[in-house]
Amino acid sequence: MRMIQIHAGIDRTGARAFQHRLARHLPVLAAHGVALPTAGSRGQRHPAPAGLSHRPETAPGRPGPAASGRGRPGRTAATHSGTWIRGMRRTMWSALHLIGAGLFVMLMIARAASAGAPPATADLAIGAFADTCTVRGLTPEEAEGRMRAFVAAEGGQGLPFRLEFYDITLQPTDLAVTPGTDRRCEVSFPGNHTAPATEALVALMERPPVFGTAIPLPITHSPVHGTAFIEGRQLNPRVAAVVHVGTRETDAGLETFMNVERLKPEAAQ
């Protein structure tokens, strides 16, 4: 029995061109009993078709490789195609896994950086205003303590913005009182942040319990240079207030302010 094994080498050495040349002459080679195709495997580290081997009919009375249990049948083109598709799928899922893992790591890094960065002063001031300035019955000390507690809970320190608060129905004040008002709660902080401040204020007034209903501005108040939002609010039949967001120039530069001032009952009429 003749046995011819042609191994065409590894990839990138011209092996593929040699294999293809032999493949084009398979009918002629097979007719002369020289070669039959067999596909290579992934572990052989070379592209399929990886080899051409000859397994002619065996002589009578002498078992061939198949009869003796040695060797393995050649793979069909469909089997090779399925192997290639499965390999591509594994490659695709590996790539997707790497991309997903990379995105996860980036997200964790961003979160860690965000967690380690101090909160912005504007965010603390706007949040403290929403948490404190519409709460009734507070003294100036209680209002400041409530705001400090809010800042600490958000990861800040002290009171990084300016607070002006009075309620002359509870105790007198040294602050300049806006005519016609008996209570004011105001925060101010550096920079122009009127857009987020206005958005937060409008959301606060719309969130239950509703902060009254919109009314025309009373004669005690009017827009000023830098006003971004101002509105009268009827809190109950006897009490009204004015909410105001804007910017103003100071010795330290431009600052944003948010305030709510409660009108005296007689001024609200």
State whether residue 129 is helix, strand or coil: helix
Q: What is the reported pLDDT for 82?
A: 67
Q: What are phi and psi of 110, to 5 degrees?
A: -65, -40
Single-letter amino acid, residue 120? A
**Is the pLDDT confidence value at 46 over 60?**
no
pLDDT bracket for residue 65 (50, 70, 90): very low
**pLDDT 10s digits, 203-251:** 999 987 778 899 999 999 999 999 999 999 999 888 999 999 999 999 9
Q: pTM to 2 decimals?
A: 0.58
Calculate what percentage of the chain has a pLDDT beyond 90.
49
Give the residue with greater pLDDT, 139 vs 55: 139
C-alpha distance across the termini of the chain, in Å? 118
Nearest CA among 211, 233, 212 for reference residue 221? 233
Is omega for the bond preceding 118 within 30 degrees of 0, making it cis?
Answer: no
Measured distance CA(181)–CA(240) in Å, rounded: 10
- Domain range list for the chain: 5-75, 121-268
Opening angle at CA 161, ends 155 and 164, nearest 5: 130
pLDDT bracket for residue 55 (50, 70, 90): very low
Calculate what percentage of the chain has a pLDDT beyond 70.
58
The pair of three-digit structure tokens given for residue 190, joined into one six-digit string: 């550096």
The pair of three-digit structure tokens given for residue 26, joined into one six-digit string: 């398979």
Q: What is the reported pLDDT for 50?
A: 43
The pair of three-digit structure tokens given for residue 60, joined into one six-digit string: 């009578």
**pLDDT 10s digits, 156-168:** 999 999 999 999 9
Measured distance CA(34)–CA(18) in Å, rounded: 16
